[in-house]
Structure 1
């Protein structure tokens, strides 16, 4: 990956910043992304939410998920951390255990090792020692900023899952004209144009052709699949509709 006009690409992942009734980790991630991109949307990609293992031995607020985003910035690592950590300390809930991981996408790194850690964190209990050992071996910044610091585990896992490219829901939902009235009928091409997604995929992973009609209602959300932002749909009585919560939960 080449650096252009002095901009470097980084992945930033945070975890365990919230508590019941406080600002969510996803919102805090978006705020950090905005600050790091100097308010220029073209420099900052979407935030992905990565679901991790839910187990009695793992403390979490509600779902045990990490939040990751990519940003292009002229800032160096120390400057990125200064901005991000300051915001974490200002916005994190007092009872939270926040962690942050930072990966320079141009730096030499065993991406597969990060991916393996992320995939493992979706099905087994990982430890802070394991997270720090991996970060050290790959020269990745990993740090904790309050409480037990347990969030460093999710922060490392989120980096790997974002790199893997087939995990995570895109934070937020699409606001389409007419959607508030109940339902919107669009072709795949129109849905792509109005939402900005890369493609429309069926729940079995097949892309739909541009002319295929869709019926969109409720919360219209995207997922991260094949390193693309994809609108996920399923077929009901011959009609393609946006994915429901049970389909989205797999991401």
Structure 2
């Protein structure tokens, strides 16, 4: 039996695995996270979507976003990569340029340099050479698995943005009881219990108390802020409502 003390935490990020009409990168990331889970000895967390720079010189399918998740597992780096890469190769679209980055969170490296790369990748065109050079300098695994391998840029950037802790939307949306019929009224405490988010946060950065009433409708989504899964809300005529699409775009 593997002891809990043998567990280590890793960040895994993939990019550029899809094409129009094929399985999305976020879905593939969720599948990899599930594959890395083994009889409760491993625990996989939520997937964050990180928006990168949109520019004519950057090939992308629809939004140019990388997908990142954290896993706590007793598996070695080689074992993690064997599983993740096999699935990446199997499920990536034929016309895609997939890349994967893997960071041992116990590994000591210049995290600020990694975060800076991620932030720059939201504002400017980065190259494969730059990504490989930084990964080698920091001792981070970075590899390409098809096509041009351009996805390594987003994969490395996604690691940095996840580490930064204030970037990314949580993949998917919450299916709350009664939501399909229209608006649902819940306290903050009830919303946290039903969704599993860490907190409910206003768009101005205020953390709402457990008794505050929320009025939720449509697509209820969370964001990653202050290293926490946060249900983002805004005040509308005295009522707290889940964030609109344009308010979520910041993430």
Q: Could you say whether these structures have the same fold, taking a TM-score greater than 0.5 normalized by the shorter chain as the test? A: yes
Distance 2:12 2:98 in 1: 13
Give the C-alpha shift of residue 5 in structure 1: 2.4
How has the CA–CA distance of structure 1 residues 39 and 176 changed in structure 2, closer, same or farther, with 3 Å as cutoff? farther
- Determine the structure 2 residue equivalent to 1:131: 131
How has the CA–CA distance of structure 1 residues 76 and 162 changed in structure 2, closer, same or farther, with 3 Å as cutoff? same
- Determine the structure 2 residue equivalent to 1:247: 247
- Determine the structure 2 residue equivalent to 1:200: 200
How has the CA–CA distance of structure 1 residues 23 and 217 changed in structure 2, closer, same or farther, with 3 Å as cutoff? same
- Determine the structure 1 residue equivalent to 2:215: 215
Deviations 1:103-152 (A, max 9, x none): 00111111111100000000111110110000000110000000000000
TM-score (norm 2): 0.97
CA contact (8 A) 1:34 1:41 kept: no
- Determine the structure 1 residue equivalent to 2:110: 110
The DSSP-based 3-state class of the residue aligned with 1:5 is helix
Distance 2:205 2:55 in 1: 29
Q: What 5-or-longer segments of structure 1 have no aligned partner?
A: none
Deviations 1:48-107 (A, max 9, x none): 000000011100000000000000111111111110000011000000000000000111
Give the C-alpha shift of residue 10 in structure 1: 0.5
Distance 1:42 1:99 in 2: 23
Distance 1:42 1:235 in 2: 39
Deviations 1:139-186 (A, max 9, x none): 100000000000000000000000000000001111111011111001
Distance 1:177 1:242 in 2: 15
TM-score (norm 1): 0.97
Distance 1:104 1:245 in 2: 34
- Determine the structure 2 residue equivalent to 1:80: 80
Distance 1:127 1:40 in 2: 39
Matched residues, number: 249
The Cα RMSD (Å) is 1.2
CA contact (8 A) 1:34 1:40 kept: no
Deviations 1:175-198 (A, max 9, x none): 111011111001111111111111
Listed as ranges, the matches of 1:172-191 within 5 Å are: 172-191=172-191
CA contact (8 A) 2:36 2:42 kept: no
Give the C-alpha shift of residue 40 in structure 1: 3.9
- Determine the structure 1 residue equivalent to 2:165: 165
Give the C-alpha shift of residue 39 in structure 1: 5.9
How has the CA–CA distance of structure 1 residues 42 and 221 changed in structure 2, closer, same or farther, with 3 Å as cutoff? farther
Q: What 5-or-longer segments of structure 2 have no aligned partner?
A: none
* Greater Cα offset, 107-116 or 38-47: 38-47
Listed as ranges, the matches of 1:22-37 within 5 Å are: 22-37=22-37
- Determine the structure 2 residue equivalent to 1:65: 65
